[in-house]
Structure 1
Amino acid sequence: MGFVMLRCALCLGVLLAGSVLGLTITSTGPSSIEKAGGESINFDCLFTLAPADTGPLDIEWILLASDNRNQDQMIILYSGDRVYEDYYAAMKGRVHFNSPDPKKGDASINITKLLVSDTGTYLCKVKKAPGVGSRKTLLTVMVKPSVPKCYVEGSSEQGKDILMKCNSAEGTNPIQYTWERISGTRILPATALLDRVQGSIVIKNATSDNSGTYRCVSENRVGKEQCTLSLSVVPPSNTAGTIAGAVIGSLLALLLLAIILYCCYKSRNKKKYEKETSHEIREDVPPPQSRASTARSFIGVGSNRSSLGSMSPSNMHEYAPKPQYNPVPSEEYERPPSHVPHPPASKVAAPNLSRMGGIPVMIPAQSRGGSIV
């Protein structure tokens, strides 16, 4: 009898508690979620109503402000059997209720094409007077690593330390890098040193056995990407020959420069000499013939006298000093030679003629026409 009464009391207590507690959120998912940008997320918010919850049903989803200086942002609302999705312009067209009829106990929402700016704390708040329930979920939107770039930095010769690097230009930290060999033995060399944070691997004292294909994986909490690298360890180069070639090349360049400078110097001196000699006066060059001699030639051409007659005393005037002529011939010299008047003959006495070195000669008398009389 006492046991039956105790059981009835417990049942009555549960009913009273349910009527007091009213609306209850029943979702038990994680309170913190990490997603990659571009993906979608589902926020669970399932609820149950109590018989005492008789008021109108309101469902609010709010993005809480990161600090007290900003206001909380309403992103979607269900009220009066109607959905309102245009509260937050940054999520317009990307946020929806999962259930077409949220009043049946499913207030969950879905956000598509996540952005880094969507990071924050989301609050699901269900009200049906007098019951009220809420649930918070922290969302962190991360950027997965971009496809990394693999390359060898420096030399890849035998006997030297070979440095291989891997780096993703984009991605939310922390990013971890892992190297592995995917050819041959598929085991990294024993002398390899791996840096997971910087994404580098150093092969100490490399040998030809270290040649092969290597893969680097770039990874963070929301995704990963990879790249491959083909490593070829080559024999050491002839350093002495390289140095000798460089020295010889430098000497040849200097020699060529010296030849060019010498040629320029010779050419400059030659031009200078030609310029100086072009202004010198040549003493052995006869002066230009004056117009006086030209005028004189007109006089002498008209008479066809014999050499014997030219040495006669009557013609000695031709050897006398001639008067200076005007540089410009006058009209008198343009006449034909037959019309040019002969200058008066100067008579030279025989003693004076012998003193001058002349020889007296008997000249027959001539007529006016030039015949001997």
Structure 2
Amino acid sequence: MTVFACFLMIMFVAAVTLMCSLHSNLGMASGLEITSTGQEPIQKAKGQSVKLDCQFTLAPEDSGPLDIEWSLLASDNQKEDKVVILYSGDRTYEDYYEPMIGRVHFNSPDPKKGDASINLTGLKPTDSGTYQCKVKKAPGIRSKKMQLIVMVRPSKPRCYAEGATEEGKDVVLRCTTSEGTKPMKYSWEKTSDHKLLPASAVMDPVAGTVNVRNASAAASGTYRCVASNRVGTEECTLYLKVTPPANTAGIIAGSIIAVLLILLIIAIILFCFCRIRNKKKYEKEICNEIREDVPPPKSRASTARSFTVGSQRSSLGSMSPSNLHEFTQKAQYDKIPSSEEYERPPSHVPLPPPTAPRMAGPNLSRMGGIPVMIPAQNRDGSIV
């Protein structure tokens, strides 16, 4: 029993010593306290400003230098936390995190008075994350975490009808936005007539669609879609006109007739073009062709013939016996052929007349002829 009693006594003393040590440590560490409350995520819209609150109190035993550090915790444990702003040695350092330079500041010009809060302006979606405020004043150390969510308000949505807007068919009304933080909510309403959606309409607030089944003319009208999230709303309008079914057979027949008319016009144009081209080609060949059987103009032949006959008649009266024979021979060469003789084939050209006998001067005188001198003439009847 004596040994057991000694063992219990030793265990009691050790327990008392440990409790005193823990109490002493807790008393020393509990001097610095962060008094800010609230653990709910902070939601702000893009472009707005936010205040991240971090109030603290000090105890007399906290005698070391004061350090305040704000950091953006990495979402991945493999990455490093980013220091956003720092207060140390009675000096503020605001250029630790480049994406926030010029946008983050301490709320108080003198943070050592118990206000370690910061203001963040011009919020961006990349500013979202978990922030940690750590206050150190030896031997006390305290920290606090808070979550910031930067949301983007919906952009101007686009409303449009999908599918054929004809009676008896399904018409889908769609509303979409290019920007906006989810969750997004869409709501449709009809702003004309009875301001009620058609009885056959089925709305999807997440996808932003309204499916009007078996649409009728009564579904025509003006519709409005409102897109919203936690930080804002935007809307668009759409006018829907449900038309009667189209006459498909008439459209097809009209299209066929139009195509045939176009083909006919093209064929006529090509035909006229070919006719004109062939005509020009024929005229060109006729102009370039040299024909040897074309007779000379009749006016020139008759003129030359009359001139020759007149010259012969005028010359007979003054013909002398000496040149009568020459005149008879030259007459057959000086004669200009008529158009019929010119066009007659060579085989039918008449033979020259027989040569008249040469008469002597005395015989010519007895016959009553008077010898004269006849000037020489060339073939066309001119006097040489």
Matches within 5 A, 1:89-104: 89-104=98-113
Per-residue CA deviations over 1:38-87 (Å, capped at 9, x if unaligned) read 12222111222223212222111112233355432222122233332232
C-alpha distance in structure 2 between counterparts of 1:311 and 1:166, whole Å: 124
Question: AA paired with 1:137?
Answer: M
CA contact (8 A) 1:60 1:125 kept: yes
Q: Which residue of 1 aligns with 2:242?
A: 233
Gap regions ≥5 residues in structure 2? 1-21, 298-303, 334-354, 376-384
Q: 2:214 aligns with which of 205, 225, 229?
A: 205
Q: Which residue of 1 aligns with 2:260?
A: 251
Q: 2:357 aligns with which of 349, 355, 360?
A: 349
C-alpha distance in structure 1 between counterparts of 2:195 and 2:374, whole Å: 136
Q: Which residue of 2 aligns with 1:308?
A: 316
Q: 2:91 aligns with which of 74, 82, 101?
A: 82
C-alpha distance in structure 1 between counterparts of 2:325 and 2:64, whole Å: 163
CA contact (8 A) 2:85 2:94 kept: yes
C-alpha distance in structure 2 between counterparts of 1:32 and 1:94, whole Å: 21
Q: Which residue of 2 aligns with 1:143?
A: 152
C-alpha distance in structure 1 between counterparts of 2:108 and 2:92, whole Å: 11
Question: AA paired with 2:83?
Answer: M
Q: Which residue of 2 aligns with 1:272?
A: 281
Q: 1:115 aligns with which of 124, 131, 154?
A: 124
Per-residue CA deviations over 1:10-62 (Å, capped at 9, x if unaligned) read xxx99995544221222222353333221222211122222321222211111
Using the size of structure 1 for normalisation, the TM-score is: 0.73
Q: 2:73 aligns with which of 64, 69, 73?
A: 64
C-alpha distance in structure 1 between counterparts of 2:76 and 2:368, whole Å: 149
User: CA separation of 1:283/1:14 partners in 2, compared to 1, >3 Å: closer, same or farther?
Assistant: same
C-alpha distance in structure 2 between counterparts of 1:180 and 1:158, whole Å: 21
User: CA separation of 1:20/1:257 partners in 2, compared to 1, >3 Å: closer, same or farther?
Assistant: closer
Q: 2:369 aligns with which of 364, 370, 373?
A: 364
- Report the identity percentage: 57
Using the size of structure 2 for normalisation, the TM-score is: 0.71
Q: Which residue of 2 aligns with 1:260?
A: 269
Q: Does 1:217 find its partner at 2:226?
A: yes
C-alpha distance in structure 2 between counterparts of 1:182 and 1:275, whole Å: 77
C-alpha distance in structure 2 between counterparts of 1:213 and 1:276, whole Å: 74
Shift of 1:248: 1.9
CA contact (8 A) 2:324 2:358 kept: no
Per-residue CA deviations over 1:243-279 (Å, capped at 9, x if unaligned) read 3322221121121112112212222332333344334
What do you get for the CA RMSD once the two structures are aligned? 3.7
The ranges of structure 1 where at least 4 consecutive aligned residues each deviate by more than 6 angstroms after the TM superposition are 13-16, 367-370
Higher helix share: 2
C-alpha distance in structure 1 between counterparts of 2:207 and 2:365, whole Å: 129
Matches within 5 A, 1:132-171: 132-171=141-180
Shift of 1:146: 0.7
Per-residue CA deviations over 1:95-134 (Å, capped at 9, x if unaligned) read 1222233223221111011112212221100011111100
Q: Which residue of 2 aligns with 1:334?
A: none
CA contact (8 A) 2:318 2:371 kept: no
Q: State the SS of the aligned residue for 1:75.
A: strand
Q: State the SS of the aligned residue for 2:242.
A: coil
Q: State the SS of the aligned residue for 2:283.
A: helix
Count of paired positions: 319
